[in-house]
Amino acid sequence: MTEIDLSPLRAELKKQFRQSMPDAKLDYCLTCGLCASGCPASDIEGMDPRKFIRYLILGQDDVLKKTNWLYTCSICQRCEYACPMGIHVGRFVYALKGMRPIEERPKNLQKSCDLQKQSNSTGIPNADFVWVVGDMLEEVHATEPEWADLQAPMDKVGARFYLNQNAKEPTVEPEEMVFLWKILHAVGIDWTYSSEWWDGANYCLFSGDPKDWEFVTRKQAETVDALGCPTYINTE
Ligand code: SF4
Ligand code: SF4
C-alpha cells in the first residue's frame, strides 16, 4: 500500500478563518463552480474562486500564500452574489492579501498605496491638480463656444455634490475629465472638486492593509464634510 504524505497540508488558514470569520461559511462549498463562471479574474495566474476555496478547505496553505491571483481578484464580490451557499470569497482573499509581507506585495500597488497616504496615488502635487483643471477649463472655453459657461468648481463650500477624481486623468489624460464636467453641467448639478484628498481611488484596499485603507477613506470623508457637501459622487 502506498503511503500519502499529508504533512504539507497544514490547514492553518482554514482554522484561522473559521475563528476570525465564523459567518463566512467556508465549509458550505458544493464545488458547483458558479463563482468561477462569473469571476472576471478566473484562470488568471492559474486560479479561480472555486479552486481558491478548494485549496483552503484541503489545507494547501502554501499554494494560497504564494499565488499572485490575490492581486488579480478585485474583491468585486460577483462570486458571492452567484454563490448558492453565500460563501464570502472576497473576505478570504482580502485577509490573505493582508498576511503577505509588504516586501512581497506587487511593488507598484504598494507604491500607489503609499503615495495615496500622502495625497493621491500618482503623487502629483495638489497645486498641479488645481492647475490642470483650470487649464482644461480654459481650453474648453477657448475652443468650444457652445460650452462657454462650463464650470469646474474647486473647494466650493456647500455644493450639493462632491466629485472625486481618478488621479490618472489629471496626470496623463486630462481631457478625459471634461466629459463628466459636461454631463454635470448639462443636467444642472451643483458640484465641486476639492484641492486636497481629491483622488477617488484607494489602492490600499487592494494591497490588503485595513489601517492604510481606513486612513485614506477617513481623509477623503473628512474633506467632503469640511466642504459641507451632502452627497459624495465616487467616480471609482
Ligand atoms: S471577488 Fe475576486 S474571486 Fe470573486 S468574482 Fe470578484 S474577482 Fe472573482
Ligand atoms: S459558487 Fe459557492 S458553492 Fe459553488 S463552487 Fe463557488 S464557493 Fe463553492
The H or E element that residue 191 is part of is: strand 191-192
Distance 79 CA to ligand 1 centre (A): 5
Average pLDDT over residues 85-92: 92
Instruction: Return all residues near 157 (Cβ < 8 A) that are at least 6 apart.
Output: 227, 228
Q: Whose CA is nearest to atom 8 of ligand 1?
A: 39
Question: So what's the pLDDT on residue 131?
Answer: 98
The sheet that has 231-233: what strands, in order across it? 191-192, 161-163, 231-233
Q: Whose CA is nearest to atom 4 of ligand 1?
A: 79
Return the ligand number nearest the Cα of 56. 2
Distance 28 CA to ligand 1 centre (A): 18
Residue 90 CA: which ligand 1 atom is closest?
1
pLDDT in tens, 160-209: 999 999 999 999 999 999 999 999 999 999 999 999 999 988 899 888 88
pLDDT in tens, 16-35: 998 888 888 888 999 999 99
Q: Whose CA is nearest to atom 7 of ligand 1?
A: 73
Average pLDDT, the chain: 92
